[in-house]
Amino acid sequence: MANDSFSDGVFPEIDEFLDGIEDKNGALIPTLHKAQEAYGYLSKEVQHYIAQKLQISNAKVYGVATFYSLFSLEKRGRYRINVCMGTACYVRNAEKVLKEFAKELDIDVKQTTSDDLFTLDSVRCVGACGLAPVVMVNDKVYGRVGTADIKGIIKDTEEERCGR
Amino acid sequence: MSDQVRQVRIAMRNCGIIDPSNIMEYIARDGYEALGKSIFELTPENVIDIIKSSGLRGRGGAGFPTGTKWEFTGKSQGNKKYVICNADEGDPGAFMDRSILEGDPHSVLEAMAICGYAIGSNEGIIYIRAEYPGAVERLQEAIAKAEELGLLGDNIMGSSFSFRIRLYLGAGAFVCGEETSLMNSVQGRRGEPRIKPPFPAQKGLWNVPTNINNVETFANITQIILKGADWFRSFGNEDSPGTKVFALAGKVNNVGLIEIPMGTSLRDVVNKIGGGVSDNKEFKAIQTGGPSGGCIPAAHLDIPVDFKSLRELGSIMGSGGMIVMDESDCMVAVSKFFLEFTAEESCGKCTPCRIGNMRLLEILTRITEGNGTEGDLEELQRLGRTICDTSLCGLGQSSPNPVLSTLNHYMDEYIAHVRDKKCPSGTCTNLLTFIILDGKCTGCTLCKKVCPTSCISGERKEIHHIDQEHCIKCGACFDKCPFKAIIKK
C-alpha cells in the first residue's frame, strides 16, 4: 500500500528532530513524542508524514501511536485535567473527584469541552501517592483534592489563562 | 530498638540528604568510588562474584538473583551488549523509583557503569516513564555532569573502559515494565512481550545480550561493592537479604517512602512506621505488588516481608507499592479496580490475558451490581487459575492475583455480595439502601434539596423519608446531612 506523498518541510519540527538523530532505528516513539509536543496531537497527516520520513508503513505508525496511552490521535483541550486513578488515589475517593469534574465541565471522561479549553481524563499513577487523591492540570499538581475543591481548580485555571 | 522500628537506608541513602543536582555532594558521600574500585582493583568476574554472594535479588518484582543475571549476560558471547535500567514504574501506588532517580540519580548511573564493566558492555539505556518529567530532567543533567568529569563516557577515570548512558522515554504502557516488551518498545515497536527463552541475557535488545535491572536494584550496587557481600547480608533474612523500599500509602496516618530490612513484619510497617490506620477505622487489608499482587488480611499481619512469605499468601513483593485499606473498602470492588487496570493494560497479544481478564472483569462487575451468583465465584477461581497458567508474560500470569487472593482471604465478603446482595463495607452502591433515621433527622430539608431525583419527601422540621423505588443511590443526601441521620446499609 502506497503512503501519501508529502514534500519535505510540511512539518518542520519533525524534520528538525529527525535531522538530529543518527540512528533512525527505533526512532519512531521519540518522533511521535516530539510531534505531539509540537502539534498537540497526532493527526493522520502527521502520522503519515512520519511514516514517509522513517520509511515505514502508515500501519506501523498507527499501530504504535494507538498502543501507547500517552499518544492522542484527537485534538485535546488547552488544559488537560488528569485525575489520578492509581490505587492510593482510588481508595481515597478519586472516582468521586473524576465524576465531579465531569459534572462540573459537563463532559464525559476523555472528552473535550466545546470551547476547546478542557479535556478530562484519568491517568495511571503519577507517583505522588502521599498526596492522594491527585489531580494534574497540564503540569500543575493538586494534592488531597476533594469534591469541594473542583470548582476552585477550574476557576484557577481559567484565571491563569486570563492573566496571561 | 524499643518501640521504634528500624529503617535502614541503602538504596535511598542519599535521598533527601544530598543536593541531587550537585555531583560533588554525591562524590563527597563516596560517589563513584565503587566504580573506581571495580575498574582498577577488581576483575569483571570479581564484581559478579561479590554481587552473587550478596544475595541481592531483583527489586522490580520477580526477585531474580541479580548476580546470576549478570553472570549469564557476562558469559554470553557478543561484540555488543546492553545494560538497561528499567525505570518504567507503572504500578499504581508505587513511586520508589521516581524518588531514587530524582533524589540520587548518580547512584543509578554509577551502578549501571559497574554492571557494564562486569558484563562487558559499553552502552546503557534508561527506559523511563514519560510521566516522570522531573526525573528525566534530573537524569539528563546528571549524565552530562558525569561525562564532563570523566566518570562516564570514553575512558572512564583514564582507564580503557568506556560507558555511555542515554535515556529512552516510554509512552504510557504498563506492559512495558515487562523486559521483553520494554525492549520491543526501545526498538520503536508496540510494547508486546515475546516468549522466553531466549532470555535477554542471550538475545535482548536488537538481538544482542542485554542485562536489565530495576532502578532500586541498581541503587544497591555501589554499597555492596564498597562494603562487601557480608555487610549486605547482615540486613534482611536468608530468603531476601538487604532492604526494600516501599511506597506506603492509602489509609494510614503516615504515608510516604520507607526503606526497611527485609523480614520486618507487616504489622510493624502498618502500626509503627505507618502510625496505624487513619481516622480511627479498623484495618482490613494491606495490598502489595499492585495489579500483580494481592490483599493480605489482618490474620497474617505478622508475616515477615520477604519474597517467599508474600508469595505464599498469594501476593507478591512487586516493585514496592503498599496500600493499606480499612473497613470501608470493599474487597470485591478493589479486585474489580485492579482488573479494570489489567484489562485495559493487557497488550492483547495472547488470548488468556486479552479475553480472560475481560471475562473476569465482567463477572466482578456483575457481582458488584448485585447480579452475581455463587457459580460466579467458582468461575472466578477456575478462570483466574487458567489465566495464570497460560498467559505469555508476567502481566497475564499475575493479573488474577488480586481476585484470587481476595477470594481466598475474604470469601465471606464475596458471599455477602452474591447470596445476600449486600456490600458489607457499603461501597457497591447498587447493593445499598439509604435510610433516614427517625431519631436523628431534624427536618432541615438539606437532603431533600440536594436529591437529584426528588425522591425525598418531608416538611420542614418533620422527619424526612426516602422513596426507595426512585432512589438512584447517588449518596448525595448521605454526604450532605449534617446530623449523620442518613445511613447506608
Q: What is the pLDDT along chain A (164 residues), one digit of tens a residue?
A: 445 678 878 899 999 999 998 888 889 999 999 999 999 899 999 999 999 999 999 999 999 999 999 999 998 999 999 999 888 888 888 999 999 999 999 999 999 999 999 999 998 788 788 888 999 998 889 999 999 999 999 999 988 888 75
Q: CA–CA separation, A83 vs A137, rounded Å?
A: 9
**Where residue B2 falls among pLDDT bands split at 50, 70, 90?**
very low
Q: CA–CA separation, B445 vs B435, rounded Å?
A: 15
B391-406 pLDDT per residue, tens: 999 999 999 999 999 9
User: What CATH number does residue B83 fall under?
Assistant: 3.40.50.11540
Q: Do B250 and A91 touch (CB under 8 A)?
A: yes
Residue B3 is assigned to a structural domain of this protein: no
Please report the pLDDT score of residue B5 as a whole number: 74
Mean pLDDT across the stretch B81-99?
92
Q: How many CA atoms lie within 13 A of B112 on its CB side?
A: 37
Of B170, B190, B323, the CB nearest to A63: B190
Same domain, B271 and B124: no
Chain B positions in Cβ-Cβ contact with residue A32 (cut-off 8 Å): 171
Q: Is the pLDDT of residue B297 over 50?
A: yes
Phi, psi of A93 (to 5 degrees): 70, 35
Residue B37 is assigned to a structural domain of this protein: yes
Please report the pLDDT score of residue A164 as a whole number: 55
A130 contacts chain B (CB < 8 A): yes
Residue type at B203 in one-letter notation: K
Instruction: Give the distance from CA B456 to its chain's centroid.
Output: 44
Residue B161 is assigned to a structural domain of this protein: yes
- A33: CB partners within 8 A, 6+ apart: A70, B130, B169, B171
Q: Nine-digit cell at A110?
A: 476523555
The three-class DSSP label of residue B138 is helix
Give the other-Cβ count within 10 Å of A81's Cβ: 26
Chain B positions in Cβ-Cβ contact with residue A132 (cut-off 8 Å): 249-250, 255
Angle at which helices B105-119 and B215-227 cross, to 10°: 70
Same domain, B67 and B174: yes
For an interface test with B, which of A22, A25, A29, A147 has the most B Cβ atoms less than 10 Å from its Cβ? A29
Please report the pLDDT score of residue B4 as a whole number: 66
- A37: CB partners within 8 A, 6+ apart: none
Strands B321-326 and B434-436, by their bridges, are unpaired
CB B353 within 8 Å of CB B391? yes
Q: Kindly list the strands in the beta sheet with A79-84, ordered across the sheet, starting from the edge strand earlier in the chain.
A: A118-123, A79-84, A135-137, A140-142
Mean pLDDT across the stretch B267-283?
95
Same domain, B171 and B86: yes
Please report the pLDDT score of residue A1 as a whole number: 45
Same domain, B296 and B172: no
B429-439 pLDDT per residue, tens: 889 999 999 98
Q: Which of B296, B326, B356 is the last residue of a domain?
A: B326
A22 contacts chain B (CB < 8 A): no
User: What CATH number does residue B291 fall under?
Assistant: 3.10.20.600
Q: B133 or B1: whose pLDDT is higher? A: B133
Q: How many CA atoms lie within 13 A of B145 on its CB side?
A: 19
Same domain, B305 and B346: no
Mean pLDDT estimate for chain B: 95
Give the other-Cβ count within 10 Å of B91's Cβ: 30
Mean pLDDT across the stretch B461-480?
90
The three-class DSSP label of residue B285 is strand
The pTM score is 0.92
- Cα(first)–Cα(last) distance of chain B, in Å? 45
Same domain, B165 and B79: yes
Element at B71 (helix H, strand E) = helix B66-75
Q: Is the pLDDT of residue B271 over 80?
A: yes
Of B26, B28, B35, which Cα lies nearest the Cα of B124?
B35
Q: Do A26 and B251 touch (CB under 8 A)?
A: no
Q: Is the pLDDT of residue B345 over 90?
A: yes
- Reported ipTM: 0.89
Mean pLDDT across the stretch B232-238?
96
Q: Is the pLDDT of residue B137 over 60?
A: yes
CB A90 within 8 Å of CB A83? no
Of A30, A68, A130, the CB nearest to B249: A130
Of A68, A88, A123, the CB nearest to B93: A88
User: SS3 string of chain A?
Assistant: CCCCCCCCCCCHHHHHHHHCCCCCCCCHHHHHHHHHHHHCCCCHHHHHHHHHHHCCCHHHHHHHHHHCCCCCCCCCCCEEEEEECCHHHHHCCHHHHHHHHHHHHCCCCCCECCCCCEEEEEECCCCCHHHCCCEEECCEEECCCCHHHHHHHHHHHHHHHHHC
Domain range for B442 is 433-488
Q: Which residues of B168-203 are buried (b: 16+ CB within 10 A; e: fewer)?
A: bbbbbbbbbbbbbbbbbbbebbbbbbeeeeebbbbb
DSSP helix, strand, coil percent of chain B (3-state; round to 5): 45, 15, 40
Chain B positions in Cβ-Cβ contact with residue A69 (cut-off 8 Å): 171-173
B420-456 pLDDT per residue, tens: 999 999 889 889 999 999 989 999 999 999 998 899 9
Q: Do A125 and B95 touch (CB under 8 A)?
A: yes
Same domain, B129 and B248: no
Q: CA–CA separation, B203 vs B72, rounded Å?
A: 11
Q: CA–CA separation, B355 vs B51, rounded Å?
A: 41
Please report the pLDDT score of residue B473 as a whole number: 86
Q: Nine-digit cell at A48?
A: 503519515
Of A85, A123, A130, the CB nearest to B256: A130
Q: Which DSSP string corresponds to B4-59?
A: SPPP--STTTTTTTS-TT-HHHHHHTTTTHHHHHHHHH--HHHHHHHHHHHT-B-T
Please report the pLDDT score of residue A123 as a whole number: 86
Same domain, B185 and B80: yes
User: What CATH number does residue B476 fall under?
Assistant: 3.30.70.20
Alpha helices in B149-211 (DSSP H): 179-186
Residue B4 is assigned to a structural domain of this protein: no
Q: Do A29 and B188 touch (CB under 8 A)?
A: yes
Strands A140-142 and B82-87, by their bridges, are unpaired
Mean pLDDT across the stretch B463-487?
91
Residue B14 is assigned to a structural domain of this protein: no
Residue B2 is assigned to a structural domain of this protein: no
Q: Which of B202, B233, B264 is the last residue of a domain?
A: B233
Same domain, B477 and B399: no
User: What CATH number does residue B340 fall under?
Assistant: 1.20.1440.230
Mean pLDDT across the stretch B124-131?
94
Residue B88 is assigned to a structural domain of this protein: yes
Q: CA–CA separation, B274 vs A130, rounded Å?
A: 12
State the residue for C-alpha cell 540512528.
A23
**How many structural domains comprise chain B?**
4
Q: Which of B326, B355, B387 is the last residue of a domain?
A: B326
Q: Do B185 and A29 touch (CB under 8 A)?
A: yes
Same domain, B386 and B257: no
Q: CA–CA separation, B90 vs B67, rounded Å?
A: 25
Q: Is the pLDDT of residue B28 over 80?
A: yes
Of A100, A92, A91, which Cα lies nearest the Cα of A120?
A100
Q: Which DSSP string corresponds to B76-132?
A: S--S--EEEEEE---STT--HHHHHHHH-HHHHHHHHHHHHHHHT--EEEEEE-TT-
Residue type at B259 in one-letter notation: E
B355-364 pLDDT per residue, tens: 999 999 999 9
Please report the pLDDT score of residue B93 as a whole number: 81
B53-69 pLDDT per residue, tens: 999 999 988 899 999 99
Q: Which residues of A48-60 are buried (b: 16+ CB within 10 A; e: fewer)?
A: bbbbbbbebebeb
Same domain, B98 and B158: yes
Closest residue in B to A125 (Cα) is B92
Q: Nine-digit cell at B293?
A: 499482587
Q: CA–CA separation, B190 vs B346, rounded Å?
A: 12
Residue B177 is assigned to a structural domain of this protein: yes
- B270: CB partners within 8 A, 6+ apart: B252, B276, B277, B283, B286, B301, B324
Share of chain B above pLDDT 90, in %: 90
For an interface test with A, which of B136, B185, B324 has the most A Cβ atoms less than 10 Å from its Cβ? B185
Mean pLDDT across the stretch B194-215?
97
Please report the pLDDT score of residue B127 as a whole number: 98
Please report the pLDDT score of residue B94 as a whole number: 86
Mean pLDDT across the stretch B152-181?
96
Same domain, B201 and B116: yes
